[in-house]
Chains A and B, each alone.
Chain A
Amino acid sequence: MYDGGFQNGILNGVGGSIKKIVVHVTEYENNNFLFPQAKYISQCIDEIKQELKQDNIAVKANAVCKLTYLQMLGYDISWAAFNIIEVMSASKFTFKRIGYLAASQCFHEGTDVIMLTTNQIRKDLSSPNQYDTGVALTGLSCFVTPDLARDLANDIMTLMSHTKPYIRKKAVLIMYKVFLKYPESLRPAFPRLKEKLEDPDPGVQSAAVNVICELARRNPKNYLSLAPLFFKLMTSSTNNWVLIKIIKLFGALTPLEPRLGKKLIEPLTNLIHRFIASGNFWLQTSKVKIVIGAALYLGLLAMSKILKTHPKSVQSHKDLILQCLDDKDESIRLRALDLLYGMVSKKNLMEIVKKLMIHVDKAEGTTYRDELLTKIIDICSQSNYQYITNFEWYISILVELTRLEGTRHGHLIAAQMLDVAIRVKAIRKFAVSQMAMLLDNAHLIASNTQRNGICEVLYAAAWICGEFSEHLEESNQTLEAMLRPKVTTLPGHIQAVYVQNMVKLYASILQQKEQDGEKEAAQEITQLMIDRLPQFVQSADLEVQERASCILQLIKYIQKLQIKEVPVAEEVIALFAGELNPVAPKAQKKVPVPEGLDLDAWINEPPSDSESEDEKPKTIFHDEEQRHSRHRQPEIDEEELARRREVRKQEQANNPFYIKSSPSPQKQYQDTPGVEHIPVVQIDLSVPLKVPGMPMSDQYVKLEEERRHKQKLEKDKKKKKQKKEKKGKHRRHNSLHTESDEDIAPAQHVDIITEEMPENALPSDEDDKDPNDPYKALDIDLDKPLADSEKLPVQSHRNAENLKSPDTEAPLVGKKSKKPKKKEKKHKEKEREREKKKEREKKVAEEGKKVNIYEMSCVSNTYDIQGNLQNDSQVTVSVIFENKSTSFLKSMELNVLDSLNAKMLRPEGSLVHDGIPVPFQLPPGISNEAQFVFTLQSIVMAQKLKGTLSFIVKNDDGSTHEKIDFKLHFSCASYLITTPCYSDAFAKLLESGDLHMSSIKVDGISISFQHLLAKICFYHHFSVVERVDSCASMYSRSIQGHHVCLLVKKGENSVSVDGKCNDSTLLSNLLDEMKETLSKC
């Protein structure tokens, strides 16, 4: 039994203790009620932490190995990243292997320490032991970052011609990862990669084929020139893995070069024979049932491919495919659904959908049912309802679908209903009647009020009934249905549509009644509205409430007029005059901006901030009571209404984007006869509905068949006639006539066959490519000769001297001072200490003499603080770059390792570790200034950020890649802005009492008080408020609005500074900095 022996075991030492963890954890899995695993693991992690602290590398490696296992169990081991690097750099292969394994399992692009691995990896890559190199390459393939890719690209490229095939194949494969992370390396490395296609070792060859295939699949056109080479490989290679890749590659190439297709036929036939043989092998070695499942799946997959070229041959297997819908395996069902989508035609659509509907009823589980539902809608609506010949049938299918319980696609059904009703004019009458039934039966649907639930269809139903109310037969009944109290339980947005559309309905009823002279009936309906509308006025939904109260007032007014016996219907109906035309989704985008119109220019000057601040709160928040007691008389009189209408019409006339009610040319052609002759009403009468209120789509299938039959007969008659007229002698037997798709004329036409576009729309532009596509960067022309500038950066060795601490670099300062610049003179003293940190001297060691000296002077103490009102957490750092070498510097990139508090502002879309390119190049002896913006969270502490400047040095010998490390020091003073302050305001500030106080004293000051104040003003951004003899008060403000007040007193040989500030930390840091400045005086 478990007696804790294993737990002791882990303390006992190195050997096998990883197995103890494993055993314990495995045991735990079997009786997890006996052992609290979390406790055990945390104990293990504690022990591991102890082990990591030891010097013995074997202990460490074992600890890391245990961590790797724990990582797999889901425990966070990112804290040990540094220890992993330690183990990686062990000299013994045993440990190195474990280190790299751990790194490959847990490092990712966000791992900070990854940049520390560069040199270690480079060392391992050039190790004499091929397994060291191999393990480094394997590890690198898992965690390569853009930085690593850039720095190591050249090393890996060299390895591609290593003497050992083992290394070569790994290097070739990893190059693909490098290309993805550092696309610039593709062109320089490509010639060598191409060479590897003909490598004597089959492994290397297959690796090269793999890489080029993957590259070519993404951007095939750049690789067309390789086709002959691959053709040769395909005919000569015997490695099936390679052949499959090559075929894949040709699949991508053939669309671009049609001639390839013909050439490929023969070798492909040969290959297929061979593959069939290997397929048999598969059958023999694998479990048969898996293969059957797979075969079914693949068969369906293959069918979907055949479907594209030979639709007829697949359509004959319709029944088989429908059978697959019954399969237990979801993958197969989904495949079958996909196939159905592709194989519908006008002829079989109804049948297929009917079968699908049966499946919908049978399907268990809402998810699959939802999938079926979306597929049905997809199938029907594809390519502008191309296959629908009878929209009445489709509407009834949609209505049937509303009976599904628990679907999440109510919205989809609603959208389809709206789309069909708007775009298919001939169907509106039928649609309206069906929607009225839905509204009448709303209680069946409304029970499910969840988001996107089936109740969404009521949204569509209400809108359709309102908008096309002229087609409604029992308007009163529908209005009644919409006013039922139950409606108030629907979601807000649906209620809002209800409210709006019941007015439309009301308007049309009113008109009807007035025309018939039934004044009393008209007044009754008004009274009904007034009685029922208040339930919506009380709605919790603002939109409903607002609409309802507006409308209630309008109707009350109408009632007044009705009592005076004034005819109002015309006016009311005019509120909803005008027809809504369907507009293509992209229409707005395609309207060109007229010349001379600047969309970014202000139309009016924006109101000043202070004004809006005063008004906003009042207008947004109202007391609920206030709202109800408010006087709500709208006072719209006849004139006012007429005037408003006139204004609106004029506005519409002037508005180029308003679609006027006058018929557009597109609409005219759709109104051609052929639509009207369909006996819509007849159908309605001839179908006895089984469930009252619910249409049966099945009936339409029969009806449609009859219709088609009739149509066919008519056609045949015509044909006969024609033939008779033509005196044709070759009469075919009628029964042989097969119905083709083209013969079936749809019963109704769909508007916008071509999308309705504004008149002056621009020609269709291509769909934008995804800017995030990582492969886009690899779309590089590979046939162009390689330019010098494209050579891979070669890291030059640093002189050991450079790695010493800054104080050894004192001579540099002297060197620099030979070329003093204006700015440097200004801040000479301050800069000197910074530059010690920032300057590095580089020598090319191989040549044994100094070749290049690059210096960078970062004038980091001249912060520009921008946008301190809107953006209180940004500072701008101006950096001056000076090239003191004789070489040309280009592709400079500045990168800073962000801290929690301070972050460099990078352009949108770039990663956290991306550098920012410096927007200029530097010829020898030139300096230039660039600005970088940083965001800071807290400014009470000074900040130090480490960074690197990487650049390419180009001289006669070629180009090399160089780096300079530097530190950016954000002193607290740099967050202060010199702000003038009057003495009375200053006094008030001091009196307010909410400032913290602190003071310092510095001895041994010899400079004059005047001079001293100037220093404080200059370096610490203060302004003098008042000065009395050897005593001065000073003031400054931080970018985040802290007030800082100083009282500076000069004694004999000393200076004392008393400070007051809102933030005590900020103050003490500021004073410390000041102390440093002053002590140098």
Chain B
Amino acid sequence: SPRPAPPSRLGPWGGCCSPSCARAPRARAGASRQRPPRSPLLPPPSPAGTMQFMLLFSRQGKLRLQKWYVPLSDKEKKKITRELVQTVLARKPKMCSFLEWRDLKIVYKRYASLYFCCAIEDQDNELITLEIIHRYVELLDKYFGSVCELDIIFNFEKAYFILDEFLLGGEVQETSKKNVLKAIEQADLLQEEAETPRSVLEEIGLT
């Protein structure tokens, strides 16, 4: 059956523990290693808060969530996404979570089959960004209850809503996990059809 095998849980901060994560194919590593002068195609330094954008993608390079805090055209977004996904996937598990890319710093972390990847400005703190990623995963985990990649795929709008409650315009909006979840739950109550995230999985027979 072509049905996808149940993915391993992201687990409580499970990191890359699944046996399937052995080695990502070594793609054109370092396509972006060099930092060429800004081509005119790229916009001037964009006004934004700390974070420029956040991407979630799978080990196969499929985009699962994207949030842009800088105004860019679709073409540019696609280009950046493609380049970054390639670069990050080409890195080995033992390598550090930071890389310099163009004039931004990329901070990424892998949770089971998902990569969480953020771009910050040069002067910004990498560790706090790692913390933000982690906090977001914790929020997802609390909300979905032991979150897995499929939860994010099937309830992508919920994933966005949670992110929006946590970050706004690239800045941390609410540092208290409790408050974020409270806001989301109350907003969900406002929806008439209160569908639980669990039912989705039942619907496609994955319980």
A residues with a Cβ closer than 8 A to B are: 1-2, 15-16, 19, 22-23, 26-27, 29-31, 34, 65, 68-69, 72-74, 76, 78, 92-94, 97-98, 101, 104-106, 108-110, 129, 131, 134-135, 137-138, 141-143, 166, 169-170, 173-174, 176-177, 180-181, 202-203, 206-207, 210-211, 214, 217, 239, 241-242, 244, 248, 282, 285-287, 289-290, 293-294, 296-298, 328-332, 334, 365, 367-368, 370-371, 770, 772-775
Determine the chain A residues whose CB is within 8 A of the CB of B65 once the complex forms: 72
A241 with B4, Cβ < 8 A, contacts A29-B60, A217-B123, A248-B125 known: no
> Is the Cβ of A211 less than 8 Å from the Cβ of B171?
yes
Q: In the complex, are the beta carbons of B172 and A241 less than 8 A apart?
A: yes
Residues of chain B lying within 8 A (CB to CB) of residue A774:
44-47
Question: Is A173 a contact partner of B47 (Cβ separation < 8 A)?
Answer: no
In the complex, what residue of chain B is closest to A78 when comparing beta carbons?
Answer: B74
Q: Which residues of B contact A206 (CB under 8 A)?
A: 172, 175
Asked if B91 is at the interface (CB within 8 A of a chain A CB), the reply is yes
Contact A92 B44 (CB under 8 A): no
Determine if B157 is an interface residue (Cβ-Cβ < 8 Å): yes
Cross-interface CB contact of B153 among A22, A104, A134, A772, cutoff 8 Å: A22
* A332 x B96 contact (CB < 8 A): yes
Question: Chain A residues with Cβ under 8 A from B157's Cβ?
Answer: 65, 68, 97-98, 101
Q: Say whether, besides A170-B168, A203-B174, A370 and B161 are in contact (CB < 8 Å).
A: no
Interface string of B143-186 (1 = CB under 8 A from A): 00000001001101100110011001101111110010001001
Give B7-38 as 1s and 0s: 1 = Cβ < 8 Å from A's Cβ atoms.
00000010110000000000001100110000
Residues of B within 8 A of A328 (CB): 92, 94-95
Which residues of B lie under 8 Å from residue A109 when comparing CB positions? 71
| Contacting residue for A210 out of B29, B94, B172, B190, CB 8 A | B172
Contact, CB under 8 Å: A294 / B2: no
Residue of B nearest to A327 (CB): B95
| B169 engages A176 (CB within 8 Å) | yes
If A19-B203, A210-B49, A241-B172 touch, whether A330 touches B33 (CB-CB below 8 Å) is yes
**Which of B16, B34, B100, B168 contacts A138, CB < 8 Å?**
B168
User: What are 25 A-B contacts with C-beta separation under 8 Å?
Assistant: A16-B200, A19-B203, A19-B204, A29-B62, A34-B2, A72-B64, A94-B190, A94-B192, A97-B187, A108-B73, A210-B49, A239-B175, A286-B15, A289-B93, A297-B98, A298-B127, A328-B92, A328-B95, A331-B96, A331-B100, A365-B30, A370-B34, A371-B34, A772-B44, A773-B44
Give complex CA distance A203, B178 in Å. 12
Q: With an 8 A cutoff between CB atoms, is B130 at the interface?
A: yes
Note all chain B residues with C-beta closer than 8 A to A174. Answer: 168-169
Residues of A within 8 A of B169 (CB): 141-142, 173-174, 176-177
Determine which of B100, B168, B190, B203 lies in contact with A173 in the assembled complex, contact meaning CB atoms within 8 Å: B168
Is the beta-carbon distance between A775 and B96 smaller than 8 angstroms?
Answer: no
CB distance from B167 to the nearest CB of A (A): 9
Decide if B128 is an interface residue (CB 8 Å cutoff).
yes
User: 10 closest A-B pairs (Cβ-Cβ)?
Assistant: A293-B96, A287-B15, A329-B95, A180-B47, A772-B44, A141-B169, A774-B47, A297-B96, A94-B191, A93-B190
Interface size band for B:
35 or more
Known: A19-B204, A23-B204, A34-B2. A367 touches B153 (CB 8 A): no
Tell me, in angstroms, the Cα distance from A22 to B153 when the chains sit together: 7
Residues of B participating in the A interface, judged by any CB pair closer than 8 Å:
1-4, 13, 15-16, 29-30, 33-34, 44-47, 49-50, 60, 62-66, 68-69, 71-74, 78, 91-100, 109, 123, 125-128, 130-131, 134, 150, 153-154, 156-157, 160-161, 164-165, 168-169, 171-176, 179, 183, 186-187, 190-193, 200, 203-204
Q: A16-B203, A92-B192, A181-B47 are in contact. List 7 more A-B contacts (CB 8 A).
A: A15-B193, A22-B156, A72-B64, A72-B66, A202-B176, A207-B171, A774-B45
Q: Give the nearest-CB partner of A95 in chain B.
A: B191
Q: Cα distance A489–B158 when bound, in Å?
A: 63
B176 touches A203 (CB 8 A): yes
Q: Is the CB–CB distance between B190 and A131 below 8 Å?
A: yes
Q: Are A134 and B183 in contact (CB under 8 A)?
A: yes
Question: Known contacts A68-B157, A328-B95: does B30 contact A367 (CB below 8 Å)?
Answer: yes
In the complex, chain A residues whose CB is within 8 Å of the CB of B99: 330-331
The answer for the CA separation of A330 and B154 in the assembled complex, in Å, is 35
B171 close to A214 (CB less than 8 A): yes
What's the least CB distance linking A910 to chain B, in Å?
Answer: 13
How many angstroms from the CA of A26 to the CA of B6 in the assembled complex? 12
Q: Determine the distance from Cα of A308 to Cα of B24 in the docked complex, in whole angstroms.
A: 38
Chain B residues whose CB sits within 8 angstroms of the CB of A180 once the complex forms? 47
A residues in contact with B16, CB < 8 Å: 287
Interfacial chain A residues near B176, Cβ < 8 Å: 202-203
Across the interface, A244 reaches (CB within 8 A) one of B13, B91, B125, B165, namely B125
Task: Tell me how far the C-beta of B66 lies from the nearest C-beta in chain A, rounded to whole angstroms.
Answer: 6
For the complex, what is the distance from the CA of A27 to the CA of B78, rounded to whole Å? 23
- Least CB separation from A333: chain B residue: B33
Whether A27 pairs with B3 at a CB distance below 8 angstroms is yes
Within the complex, the shortest CB–CB distance from B72 to chain A, in Å, comes to 7
Query: Which residues on B sit within 8 Å (CB–CB) of A166?
Result: 183
Are the CB atoms of A294 and B97 closer together than 8 Å?
yes
Knowing A170-B173, A290-B96, say if A19 contacts B161 (CB, 8 Å): no
Contact of B128 among A2, A26, A138, A244 (CB under 8 A): A244
A293 contacts across to B, CB distance below 8 A: 94-97
Which residues of A lie under 8 Å from residue B62 when comparing CB positions?
A: 29
Report chain B residues within 8 Å CB of A203: 173-176, 179
A290:B63 contact, CB within 8 angstroms: no
Which residue of chain B is the closest to A69 with respect to CB atoms? Answer: B156
Q: Is the CB of A368 within 8 A of B30?
A: yes
Most buried by B among A30, A34, A73: A30
Q: Which residues of A contact B69 (CB under 8 A)?
A: 141-142
Residues on the A chain within 8 Å of B161, using CB? 97, 101
The complex places the Cα of A775 from the Cα of B46 at a distance, in Å, of: 9
In the complex, the chain A residue whose C-beta lies closest to that of B110 is: A290
Report B-chain residues with C-beta under 8 Å of the C-beta of A106.
Answer: 74
| Shortest distance from the beta carbon of A479 to any chain B beta carbon, whole Å | 39
- How far apart are the CA atoms of A29 and B4 in the complex, in Å? 9
- In the complex, what's the smallest C-beta–C-beta distance from B96 to chain A, in angstroms? 3
Q: How close is B158's CB to chain A, nearest CB, in angstroms?
A: 10
Shortest distance between the CB of B37 and any CB in chain A (Å) = 13
- A298 contact set on B, CB distance < 8 A: 126-127
Partner of B94, one of A23, A97, A244, A289: A289
Q: How far is the CA of A97 from the CA of B161 in the complex (A)?
A: 9
Contact A773 B187 (CB under 8 A): no
Chain B contacts of A286 at CB under 8 A? 13, 15, 134
Closest-CB distance, B31 to chain A (whole angstroms): 8
Query: Smallest Cβ distance from B133 to chain A, in angstroms?
Result: 11
Determine which residue in B16, B156, B192 has the highest number of CB atoms from chain A within 10 A of its CB, and name it. Answer: B156
